[in-house]
Structure 1
Amino acid sequence: MTGDAMGSGRRVVPFTDSWTIDSTGAPRRAVDLPHDAMLAEPRSAAAPSGSHGAYFPGGRYRYRKVWQAPADVAAQRLSLRFEGVAGRTRVRVNDVDAATWDSTYREVEVPLGGLVRAGAENVIEVDVDNSAQPSSRWYTGSGIYRRVWLEAVPAIHVDRHGVALTTRRSGSDATVRVGVPVLGDSEDGDVVSAALFDADVTVARATGSVAHGVAQLELPVPQATFWSAERPHLYELALRLARHGRELDAVTLRIGLRTIEVGPEFGLRVNGETVLLRGACVHHDNGVLGAATFRAAEFRRARLLKDAGYNAVRSAHNPLSRDFLDACDEIGLYVVDELTDVWFRSKTAFDGADRFAETWRDDARSMVRKDRLHPSVIMYSIGNENAETSTADGVAVARDLRAFVHDLDADRAVTAGVNFMLNAIAARTGMKADTTPPKADGTQNRPSWISSTMINAIANRLGRLTQLLSRLPGADRATRDVMAELDVAGYNYAWSRYEADGRRYPTRVILGTESLFGELPEIWSRVEPLPHVIGDFAWTGWDYLGETGIGTWEYDAGRRSSLLAKPYPALVAGSGAFDITGVPGAPLALQRAVWGLASVPAIMVRPVDLTGAKVQRTSWRSSDAVASWSWSGCEGRVAEIEVYSADESVELLLNGRRVGRRPAGPRAGFVARFRVPYEPGELVAVGYRDGRETGRSSLRSAEAVSLRLRSEAAAIEADGDDLAFVWLELADEHGEVEMCATDTVSLTVTGSARLAGFGSAAPATEESFADPEHTTYRGRALAVLRAARGAGVTEIEATGAHFGSDRLLVQVIEPSGQRY
């Protein structure tokens, strides 16, 4: 935008390049946004974030950008829109304070009127303080981790972030009602016209006059194509604001037409059709990229989840990014967007519970304004495992939150993730809000021992007894009042209540908002036949940083830890169906079998190189088996093989020899287990129903392993933000990866891209994702390249200490404007 004539029309442009940053102990350096300032920090066992924040220290960061404003800038209403900043934030423009806030996931618009010097250089400074740790129960990152936009709008303009839309369906036809708020000195009689486009075809038009700052329009759409996860069809809605025939403003929005209903008799209906949610909980970080939110990474993650068989995601436990919601709209995923993990009772020392009463309205307003034009968003969640909901004060908060959200968006249901055992314990111990005053050193709002973290540790020890405790009368008494305030009752780890609660509370609609993978066979056998239960969300669909090791199986740990989280240098949670690089594991194979989505048996093998070692399991991972039969050096060791299938039985063959045949399907928990001495070659699984073969799959051992580079895309776009995901694999010429091979690899990236992140899915490491050298884990590492602003070719060269080297060219092409 630098040097461009602004004109009198609307412009929204990225304000992400040519920033600098400095922090304590680090020199000033150039950065482009989005940027996770925490990712490059040195981790240590003494870091204040502890296991919650993956042992990162946190800090204070000063961003600075010099911007040459156009000469005609005074004709515009200018603002900066921050999609997300992790830490206490202060924005200054030309040494004048412009805005302050302290909410990691809130979008904030900073007006620039009167602060910008036209035709001159302007200094934008953003001070971010994220030194008070732990600030969350997971890794948040630090700094300006989501995008920033410079918005220039006319003096009288459409509030594009405030446009509201509802769809009514009548057979194959739709009626679209659009509320268009107008800001500035609008006059009654100003006119807003709307045109709905399907590709290049106009399918509906309408006109409405502005009254009291809003124009209400109604567009009849005959033979509408309705949006669903199965058929994610999108339209374009063009809005034009005019006065006496003269255009004042114009915006174009992408929308989807769909209807949502929930009821105990029929469950969840989308466009009149019953839908069961096959859900994945997801955190907001992007693995080796840290918390930095890139559109390409969000689309990649959504696409992999959809291709795996999920049809829904629950954000955990904070609002999703705009880019992820765009991906869900385009790819087809239903979204339960969640507001927060914390109400007025702390779970960690600096998680913002002390200011919740002051901030929740602004946070909720931000989430709804961001979400309500996205057809993928079908439900809002107002909280997660807030033990306050066992008290009258907490129930009142739920009532106020639900009413507030419905005032902003009456068309979507409201839920919350409620943990029955947590509430029962909180009620029994007489939980009260923490009124401890702040200490002189700033430490405040001491975390309650009655917390999600504590309950997770107990549940991990108790295993199946958790379901028994959740069914006790005390658990019902501690949850029924808050459930009465929700449109959909969110059950965390309480699936054994589904049938009885359907009888006890006949108007209650239930959603499994959080569950364990290993319990899915029993969960889904309840979800399918009970109309008042609308689906299940597993913890988690994608692994994440922080909450270190809650899903990691440890071998020969020495002694059994009394805590669920693992000590430094543990890095990831280890609980994902996909690891942080995007490789699926056994939990996903189980889900696909239970859901009936697997056309052939899925073979998974527990680590053969660890056979015989004492293992410490965790409830948050059903199995640590992986899809590989390449375990060099393990010949003769007993291999434990898990074959996931909905078939009646599965036969296993090793190098053409019959190993055995075992029951599978529902009667065996959808998994057939085998033990056989490992030998290289080919492992084949054959599924049978009614005595007939239904399908087969195989795994093969790697031969002649070397370091190989493989890019997921041949070309990326030269817009400064697009990403290339490049795999470094210790594999043979057929792509078979060797599990027992390890190498330390150095990268050199030249040309029209730079290295944005590099690492592996290792559950514990002292290496940094910000360094150009990393050690492979189970034969793999992932490098992410960020495109420059300028077309060309990028060369990536990888050199290993043991397995040779490889080089790869990635084309960086001119932006098309239609990347996704």
Structure 2
Amino acid sequence: TQADSTAATLSVDTEVKDAKGQRGLAVEVSVINPKGWVEQAAHASVGSDGRVHVDLPVAHPRLWSPETPHLYDVRVTLMQDGRVVDELPMKTGLRTIAYDKERGFTLNGQPRKFRGVCLHHDLGPLGAALSKAALIRQVKALKDMGADAIRTSHNLPSQMQMEVYDSLGMMVMAESFDMWVYPKCKNGYAQYFKDWSDRDITHLVLANRNHPSLVMYSIGNEIPEQGSKEGRDMAAHLQDLCHRLDSTRPVTQGLDRPDAALKSGFAQVMDIPGYNYRVHRYDDNIGQLPQGFLLGSETASTVSSRGVYKFPVDFKVAADEGDGQVSSYDTEWCSWSNLPDLDFMMMDDRPYTIGQFVWTGYDYLGEPTPYDNYWPSRSSYFGIIDLAGLPKDRYYLYRSVWNKRAHTLHILPHWTWPGREGKVTPVFVYTDYPEAELFINGKSQGRQRKVSGSRPDDHGASTPALARERAKRYRLMWDGVRYEPGEVRVVAYDDTGRKAAEQTMRTAGRAADIKLVADRTTLNADGADLSYITVSLVDKQGTELPTATDNIDVDVQGAGAFRAICNGDATSLEVFTEPHMHLFSGKLVVTVQAADKPGDITVVVRDKKAKLQRSIVIRTVKP
């Protein structure tokens, strides 16, 4: 595709099977109006080899981007002597991408940096089964955070995924596999690589090259061979295969040993050098990269448990503390990684960076670092959003930096701490505003402004002191606040010093009611559509109880069925498929699925201990 705001050319290359010896074959490419008539069309004869190329001019195109994900209905028709033989309908978008040393990554001619996340294949309590409704919910939450890209780590995406990413506007790094010849584990892909890698890469490219959301391919992740000549040659081979099948998109992979990869030439051979972590090596390494830019292909690996806060608040490498939880103050990272603030700095301050993909957008089943040897931890702590699909505090830190369309003002921790009266309980605020004032029960705790002068100029790995200093650029932190029950209020100020927004949080009392919030109250009666209902307890004033752990029972009646339940607790052994579970940090999420006939779904939620009951009705209608 060639495109700008005034004109575009939609280029179609296709191949007709069994065309040899056939006469009078031609292909028509049509752009179909939503009302069904042909807006524009172009024709070309089929060559003797069965191949055909058609260029279709499109005037005043609506270009595809994450902000404007417009899709065109395109129909490719095969004719013989004027008679329709076959036709292929498809949706695609018009957009251009480019990568170069001078401007980095450009979409439709405009430079931008990826605000991406890595996503594992599972959908939390639904497991590995595909669900369009679950994918849409996932993408909408990430887009509200300000994300614009997804890395399908570490596996080929499904067509359902790609169609959702096309329609909702998410750029995609489509990844292939996690290992080559050298095995990372006993039963991994290494046992199939020699026989299947070329075929799998071919399938990856052919299945996805017509999707406008796809902006790069990835041929590997933290490959052990990256420090060898053999590895460099394999990288070149797989990349060349991608190029032969699709000359319009570059190829990357995630490197976790960049110095070794530079020494072997492995990093230099890639279209896009992808760095997994090792942020402290960016400045030293960029001069050795002929590409002139690099991508944070995997970043952060910050860990936290939603709604869990530990004291004192320390900036540190996360460790097994014997309780299966990590503090949600967002101050703990892994031995190989760093906090988000350093990644923000590198994207903001280094022109040669083209963006990042955070590990991970959502928690996933497996890899419970730092509790790899702690039972019963069974799912990750890396997610910006937990396994139930509930945002952690970290979500709002990313939103305050990434979302340029809406303001963010978020306070942590919660303010219900019986027994902590008079004890130091730091308050953090995540906001896109530069300045704010904190009040506890009406008394000012001081006015703070973000420290704009903080820079990532040290060349060492993260340390507690450096991490705390860097955090001052993107967070507002009142470290000396002492807890007293009541009201926390934050007033934010804009660049001119004028009051711009405020947020209030109160201490919760006893449970007086159940609060139910459905992400969708009308579903398609198609046997597959889903509604996610967030359950919490509230006091008489409507304040949520942030530490409630009550057992919740669910009954689903009518034109739908109970599908799953999840509370986001990485240590919970309660099953996802039974209609009962304990609240974790005051919340859980119930998933209900529509039947194939229209009607009402009534969801009844009970807390037998508190003698509370609440119901919600979800309508289902014909698709």
For this structure pair, what is the TM-score category when the shorter chain's length is used for normalisation?
A: 0.7 to 0.9
Q: Does structure 2 conserve the Cα–Cα contact (< 8 Å) formed by 1:299 and 1:323?
A: no
> Are the structure 2 counterparts of residues 235 and 599 from structure 1 closer, same or farther at C-alpha, using a change threshold of 3 Å?
same
> Are the structure 2 counterparts of residues 756 and 600 from structure 1 closer, same or farther at C-alpha, using a change threshold of 3 Å?
closer
What does 1:630-641 align with in structure 2 at a 5 Å threshold?
630-631=416-417, 635-641=421-427
| CA displacement at 1:362 relative to structure 2 | 2.0
SS of corresponding position for 1:677? coil
What does 1:785-804 align with in structure 2 at a 5 Å threshold?
785-803=592-610, 804=612
Q: Which amino acid aligns with 1:673?
A: M
What does 1:35-434 align with in structure 2 at a 5 Å threshold?
167-169=1-3, 172-183=6-17, 187-200=22-35, 202-211=38-47, 212-420=49-257
- Deviations along 1:51-84, whole A, 9 cap, x unmatched? xxxxxxxxxxxxxxxxxxxxxxxxxxxxxxxxxx
CA distance in 1, matches of 2:113, 2:269: 23
Q: Does structure 1 conserve the Cα–Cα contact (< 8 Å) formed by 2:226 and 2:261?
A: no
- Deviations along 1:145-200, whole A, 9 cap, x unmatched? xxxxxxxxxxxxxxxxxxxxxx0125621111112333456735322212113533
Q: Which amino acid aligns with 1:644?
A: Y
- Deviations along 1:545-568, whole A, 9 cap, x unmatched? 110244xxxxxxxxxxxxx52422
CA distance in 1, matches of 2:541, 2:44: 62
* Match in the other structure for 2:344: 524
* Match in the other structure for 2:525: 718
Q: Does structure 2 conserve the Cα–Cα contact (< 8 Å) formed by 1:632 and 1:740?
A: no
> Are the structure 2 counterparts of residues 600 and 218 from structure 1 closer, same or farther at C-alpha, using a change threshold of 3 Å?
closer
Q: Does structure 1 conserve the Cα–Cα contact (< 8 Å) formed by 2:438 and 2:490?
A: yes
Q: Does structure 2 conserve the Cα–Cα contact (< 8 Å) formed by 1:520 and 1:594?
A: no
User: After alignment, is 490-499 or 375-384 more displaced?
Assistant: 490-499
CA distance in 2, matches of 1:632, 1:370: 56
> Are the structure 2 counterparts of residues 659 and 813 from structure 1 closer, same or farther at C-alpha, using a change threshold of 3 Å?
same
- Deviations along 1:380-402, whole A, 9 cap, x unmatched? 11110011111122111111110
Identity %: 31
Q: Does structure 2 conserve the Cα–Cα contact (< 8 Å) formed by 1:265 and 1:531?
A: no
> Are the structure 2 counterparts of residues 581 and 631 from structure 1 closer, same or farther at C-alpha, using a change threshold of 3 Å?
farther
Query: Is the counterpart of residue 534 in structure 1 residue 354 in structure 2?
Result: yes
| CA displacement at 1:260 relative to structure 2 | 0.7
* Match in the other structure for 1:670: 474
Query: Is the counterpart of residue 515 in structure 1 residue 299 in structure 2?
Result: yes
* Match in the other structure for 2:584: 777
Q: Which amino acid aligns with 1:671?
A: R
| CA displacement at 1:735 relative to structure 2 | 5.7
SS of corresponding position for 2:481? strand
* Match in the other structure for 1:755: 562
CA distance in 1, matches of 2:46, 2:65: 32
* Match in the other structure for 2:312: none
| CA displacement at 1:346 relative to structure 2 | 1.7
> Are the structure 2 counterparts of residues 524 and 634 from structure 1 closer, same or farther at C-alpha, using a change threshold of 3 Å?
closer
* Match in the other structure for 1:586: 393
The structure 1 residue matched to 2:574, chosen from 767, 773, 776, is 767
Query: Is the counterpart of residue 575 in structure 1 residue 409 in structure 2?
Result: no
| CA displacement at 1:699 relative to structure 2 | 2.3
Q: Does structure 2 conserve the Cα–Cα contact (< 8 Å) formed by 1:631 and 1:739?
A: no
| CA displacement at 1:665 relative to structure 2 | 4.4
CA distance in 1, matches of 2:436, 2:28: 62
What does 1:544-559 align with in structure 2 at a 5 Å threshold?
544-550=364-370
* Match in the other structure for 1:652: 438
CA distance in 2, matches of 1:279, 1:744: 36
SS of corresponding position for 1:268? strand
* Match in the other structure for 2:489: 684
CA distance in 2, matches of 1:635, 1:324: 49
CA distance in 1, matches of 2:563, 2:199: 33
CA distance in 2, matches of 1:665, 1:732: 38
SS of corresponding position for 1:497? helix
> Are the structure 2 counterparts of residues 220 and 544 from structure 1 closer, same or farther at C-alpha, using a change threshold of 3 Å?
same
User: After alignment, is 294-303 or 585-594 more displaced?
Assistant: 585-594
TM-score by length of 1: 0.65
Q: Does structure 1 conserve the Cα–Cα contact (< 8 Å) formed by 2:271 and 2:291?
A: no
> Are the structure 2 counterparts of residues 348 and 734 from structure 1 closer, same or farther at C-alpha, using a change threshold of 3 Å?
farther
Q: Which amino acid aligns with 1:192?
A: V
CA distance in 2, matches of 1:766, 1:757: 14
* Match in the other structure for 2:329: none
CA distance in 1, matches of 2:81, 2:424: 82
> Are the structure 2 counterparts of residues 577 and 796 from structure 1 closer, same or farther at C-alpha, using a change threshold of 3 Å?
same
| CA displacement at 1:569 relative to structure 2 | 1.3
Q: Which amino acid aligns with 1:670?
A: Y
> Are the structure 2 counterparts of residues 736 and 357 from structure 1 closer, same or farther at C-alpha, using a change threshold of 3 Å?
farther
- Deviations along 1:697-727, whole A, 9 cap, x unmatched? 2323445532333221111111111111112
> Are the structure 2 counterparts of residues 790 and 648 from structure 1 closer, same or farther at C-alpha, using a change threshold of 3 Å?
closer
CA distance in 1, matches of 2:566, 2:401: 32
CA distance in 2, matches of 1:515, 1:812: 41
Q: Which amino acid aligns with 2:595?
A: A
How well do the aligned residues superpose, as a CA RMSD in angstroms? 2.3
* Match in the other structure for 2:464: none
Q: Does structure 2 conserve the Cα–Cα contact (< 8 Å) formed by 1:241 and 1:248?
A: yes
| CA displacement at 1:577 relative to structure 2 | 0.9
CA distance in 1, matches of 2:621, 2:67: 32
Query: Is the counterpart of residue 488 in structure 1 residue 272 in structure 2?
Result: yes
> Are the structure 2 counterparts of residues 309 and 596 from structure 1 closer, same or farther at C-alpha, using a change threshold of 3 Å?
closer
> Are the structure 2 counterparts of residues 637 and 485 from structure 1 closer, same or farther at C-alpha, using a change threshold of 3 Å?
same
| CA displacement at 1:734 relative to structure 2 | 6.9
CA distance in 2, matches of 1:300, 1:367: 25
User: After alignment, is 481-490 or 699-708 more displaced?
Assistant: 699-708
CA distance in 1, matches of 2:72, 2:64: 9
CA distance in 1, matches of 2:124, 2:358: 19
TM-score by length of 2: 0.85
> Are the structure 2 counterparts of residues 734 and 391 from structure 1 closer, same or farther at C-alpha, using a change threshold of 3 Å?
farther
The structure 2 residue matched to 1:497, chosen from 281, 306, 312, is 281
Q: Does structure 2 conserve the Cα–Cα contact (< 8 Å) formed by 1:748 and 1:772?
A: yes
| CA displacement at 1:769 relative to structure 2 | 0.6
> Are the structure 2 counterparts of residues 269 and 494 from structure 1 closer, same or farther at C-alpha, using a change threshold of 3 Å?
same
Q: Does structure 2 conserve the Cα–Cα contact (< 8 Å) formed by 1:229 and 1:331?
A: yes
* Match in the other structure for 1:743: 550
* Match in the other structure for 1:56: none
> Are the structure 2 counterparts of residues 801 and 635 from structure 1 closer, same or farther at C-alpha, using a change threshold of 3 Å?
farther
> Are the structure 2 counterparts of residues 207 and 736 from structure 1 closer, same or farther at C-alpha, using a change threshold of 3 Å?
farther
